[in-house]
Copies of this chain bind each other. A is one copy, B any other.
Amino acid sequence: MSRSNRERTEQTRQALIDAGRRLFVEKGYAETATPEIVAAAGVTRGALYHHFEDKRALFRAVIECEAKAVAAAIEARSASYGAPRAMLIAGASAYFDAMMAQGRTRLLLIEAPAVLGPLASAAIDAENAEASLRAGLAAMLPEAGAMLEPLTSLLSAAFDRAAIAIEAGGERRHYEQAIAVLFDGLADHLRR
């Protein structure tokens, strides 16, 4: 049973990320101890601190993984529509679907801003899920001008809050409707 160094690294890193993800979701970052993580991953703390600078670096790796997965899910579903409005609505639906994966709202929207700081967290979002929204808004609201950035940011926040509310038991239909109304109102209003 000999593995190349690349294989060993790859497998150990992935085991740590998987175990970390599960425990961070279950108990939160602060309440999850590194001995618990490495036990779940089947390695020792030595391996953890060999592959990651510290506990936070492991968390960051988990977050980047999740953010990419969400962005990919959105891209896959919203890219096929032609009209901007339909694309945005489809993107919204895809976002909610993606965020229903166990614990994603907690990881991406609650823990990450506190653990990594709002700037780092926002940067990760902006490169991933938020990028689709910006593109959609730019297509739907060519007259937005300097307000495109702020609007993207505010609507992205609305999406995030909706995902949290849905996870907490809110009616998804209501939130999708509310989002649609915000989009349509925006289009109506800026069109003059």
A154 engages B177 (CB within 8 Å): no
Query: Given A111-B114, A113-B110 in contact, is the A170-B158 Cβ separation under 8 Å?
Result: no
Most buried by B among A109, A168, A189: A189
> Residues of B contacting A190 with CB < 8 Å?
181, 185
Closest to A185 in B: B185
User: A118 interface residue, CB < 8 Å from B?
Assistant: yes
> Residues of B contacting A26 with CB < 8 Å?
none
User: A179 interface residue, CB < 8 Å from B?
Assistant: yes
Query: Given A155-B158, A186-B182 in contact, is the A110-B114 Cβ separation under 8 Å?
Result: yes
Q: Which of A142-168 contact B (CB under 8 A)?
A: 146-147, 149-151, 153-158, 160-162, 164-165, 168
In whole angstroms, what is the CA distance A114 to B112 when docked?
9
User: A119 interface residue, CB < 8 Å from B?
Assistant: yes
Q: Least Cβ distance of A122 to chain B in Å?
A: 8
B162 engages A174 (CB within 8 Å): no
Q: Least Cβ distance of A109 to chain B in Å?
A: 8
Interface of A is mostly: helix
In whole angstroms, what is the CA distance A28 to B28 when docked?
16
Cross-chain contact of A28 among B111, B114, B119, B170 (Cβ < 8 A): B114
A157 engages B150 (CB within 8 Å): no
Closest to A148 in B: B178
Q: Least Cβ distance of A92 to chain B in Å?
A: 12
A165 engages B150 (CB within 8 Å): yes
B150 engages A174 (CB within 8 Å): yes
Cross-chain contact of A147 among B106, B111, B174, B184 (Cβ < 8 A): B174
User: A188 interface residue, CB < 8 Å from B?
Assistant: yes
User: A30 interface residue, CB < 8 Å from B?
Assistant: yes
Which 5 A-B pairs give the minimum distances between C-beta atoms?
Answer: A185-B185, A157-B161, A114-B114, A185-B189, A150-B178
Query: Would you give 10 A-B contacts (Cβ < 8 Å), ordered by A?
Result: A109-B118, A110-B113, A110-B114, A118-B164, A147-B174, A150-B174, A154-B158, A154-B179, A181-B189, A185-B188
